[in-house]
Chains A and B, each alone.
Chain A
């Protein structure tokens, strides 16, 4: 089976080929390039599954021959800039194999769904759409298998570019290009920190590899053990600093506070694109990067605590905003921000398995919810305001039941997938939080967000599907075809059952060995040394505390989160599951305006740009033009002025030159005479 990895590059290359094909021949192809994308992502999916099976068989790929080498690195210089080799290579371990399957599966389903969502709706510019989709999938898959930080960074950027292309797909409107630019710029702002972080790591440790003996993780660990001083900081602090720099990119791409503002605007893109971005590609890329570099972050409790706190805060912050939105996609957008907050919280408290588990479950149920909302939008003739809907339950049963499965998973109702992973995140946060007040605060915010999640999720479900139809379109919805229903069914089943791969609480209480994902990530099948859950767990030096025993804590945590989720769902049921729901949110008064306007995040960022950065830039510009340019121009003006005088001796008359020559000679003679003592 070893040669399975020979085909691994093809996983990423297939969508790249689809990109080229759709771009060049898309116009002439049936369905405008859709089938190229479907075949390519389907091929990627099959190969990814093969990788999964191969990894399960105990094989991994890392530190093998790089696919492409940029700079080999001088063998003479062991460390420093000379010694770094930059290459493209593959790292296929349990984590990336799992992620490959998630990404290619969601991409495949999104391609299929697009047949119904884009082709059947008579959209124009479809070759461009499918080409971008292919490039997006390619970038993400290549990012997933990247074996070093530089390669990861490059594909991270490419993912950002693709999001720009796709969010701005309807470039003739005013809002879509603006949203695309916003997404690109906000995430790029984070990526600047990432780039500095990459350079800092490369310069410090002389390597950018993720795994193996000569990875920067191992080098950092050695530096901390040696008590080395790096760039004037002790090793631990330096790891924290570089880790946080890289985290800047993560916060941007994964839309964590305060870089989350691009994501709700990104709803301007086609819904299928939202499904891909939110479930499996761009937004997931940030969290995946944290998981990929987990060994590095594990070395720094400070960085982890910051990740956990930002995650917990974002989870709550975004969830509260989701409560008052009227646009079905906006609700899902805030839900995405909130859910990625949970993943960050999980990873930040050292719950590697919990974070990855939630990443996986979220990919399925959020893709489902977005595609479901896409189906609703088709049903409603491109109406997105939930207040215009209602009563779709009976008219579109497939959409309803699959959407409901996604909603139950999102809200975290047992036994749907989201419950298991969210509960594991919260449990990990709680046991660490009992010893660490900062993390306890993050946990509390995450826990509170569960209530809001349950509330906004079911508010969305009830407003959309229950009650009486509130408009004529809702009474007579447009039908949807198999290409919309099939992906929904696949994802609906996954949303319901994906949680069963890691029933940690039941495994613990009943003593059964059914925490499959934990075993998987712990390398019980195949693993790269150092990249296992156990290795991380030993590095993360968090103390764990329990209320009573571990079992009681676990039940308490699960009970609390389930209770809150049910309470949220019940509150939504009371308020909105009536034939003629009202806008209860407006009764909140001032709080409603604050929530509706997203805590004035955009306003304050605009203020930051216009009120602070712009005057600062103007002052810098003035300084540049007067002092810096003044100095440069002054020098040139001076020499120009001087030369305008000096050039007058250049008459072109031989006589004058001869006279000058003679005068000079006489002067020289006189000077020599004076110094030589002739007079």
Chain B
């Protein structure tokens, strides 16, 4: 039994919205990073669902790329968070506002 593609899209949308909600509301940088991961994975779900639906592998290959990129991003993001913590003794993203104009 195959699941209709609309369900995947709905799942992906839900995941993306949860991620977005997290990005917009959370102040903890780690949760922030996790929310971004969630949004990326929402995109991955979409890519794989459509790849399966259209019967070619391009989408799946792109999903692999995205995962690699996500891993890299986490590495950078964690680095930033470490620096953030070192400088501000906190991981609250609303504290460092010195990098504006």
Residues of A participating in the B interface, judged by any CB pair closer than 8 Å: 647, 650-655, 658-659, 662
Within 8 A of A (CB), among B22-63: 23-27, 32
* A658 engages B23 (CB within 8 Å): yes
Answer yes or no: B7 CB below 8 A from chain A CBs.
no
* A652 engages B20 (CB within 8 Å): no
Within 8 A of A (CB), among B1-36: 20, 23-27, 32
Answer yes or no: B78 CB below 8 A from chain A CBs.
no
- Which residue of chain B has its CB nearest to the CB of A647? B101
Q: Assuming A655-B93, A655-B94, is B24 touching A650 (CB within 8 A)?
A: no
Within 8 A of A (CB), among B50-101: 93-94, 96-101
* B24 engages A659 (CB within 8 Å): yes
Which residues of chain A are within 8 angstroms of B32 by Cβ–Cβ distance?
654
- Interface of A, helix, strand, loop or mixed by DSSP: helix
* A651 engages B24 (CB within 8 Å): no
Min CB distance, A74 to chain B, in Å? 49
Interchain CA distance A652-B93 in the complex, whole Å: 9
Interchain CA distance A653-B27 in the complex, whole Å: 10
Interchain CA distance A654-B93 in the complex, whole Å: 7
Interchain CA distance A647-B101 in the complex, whole Å: 8
Which residues of chain A are within 8 angstroms of B98 by Cβ–Cβ distance?
652
Contacts A651-B97, A652-B96, A662-B20 given; 14 further ones with Cβ under 8 A?
A647-B101, A650-B100, A650-B101, A651-B100, A652-B99, A652-B100, A654-B93, A655-B23, A655-B25, A655-B26, A655-B93, A658-B20, A658-B23, A662-B24
Interchain CA distance A653-B100 in the complex, whole Å: 9
Q: Assuming A662-B20, A662-B24, is B93 touching A653 (CB within 8 A)?
A: yes
List the 10 closest A-B pairs by CB distance, nearest first: A652-B97, A652-B100, A650-B100, A658-B23, A659-B24, A650-B101, A653-B94, A654-B93, A652-B99, A655-B24
Which residues of chain A are within 8 angstroms of B99 by Cβ–Cβ distance?
652
Min CB distance, B18 to chain A, in Å? 14
Min CB distance, B62 to chain A, in Å? 21
Min CB distance, B68 to chain A, in Å? 23
List 22 contacting pairs A-B, 8 Å CB cutoff, sorted by A: A647-B101, A650-B100, A650-B101, A651-B100, A652-B96, A652-B97, A652-B98, A652-B99, A652-B100, A653-B93, A653-B94, A654-B32, A654-B93, A655-B24, A655-B25, A655-B26, A655-B27, A655-B94, A658-B20, A658-B23, A659-B24, A662-B20
Which residues of chain B are within 8 angstroms of A653 by Cβ–Cβ distance?
93-94, 97
Interchain CA distance A658-B32 in the complex, whole Å: 11
Interchain CA distance A662-B93 in the complex, whole Å: 18
Min CB distance, A651 to chain B, in Å? 6
Interchain CA distance A33-B53 in the complex, whole Å: 106
Interchain CA distance A614-B93 in the complex, whole Å: 64
Choose among B24, B94, B100, B101 the residue that contacts A658 (Cβ–Cβ < 8 A).
B24
Interchain CA distance A658-B93 in the complex, whole Å: 12
Interchain CA distance A647-B94 in the complex, whole Å: 17
Which residues of chain A are within 8 angstroms of B24 by Cβ–Cβ distance?
655, 658-659, 662
Interchain CA distance A652-B94 in the complex, whole Å: 8
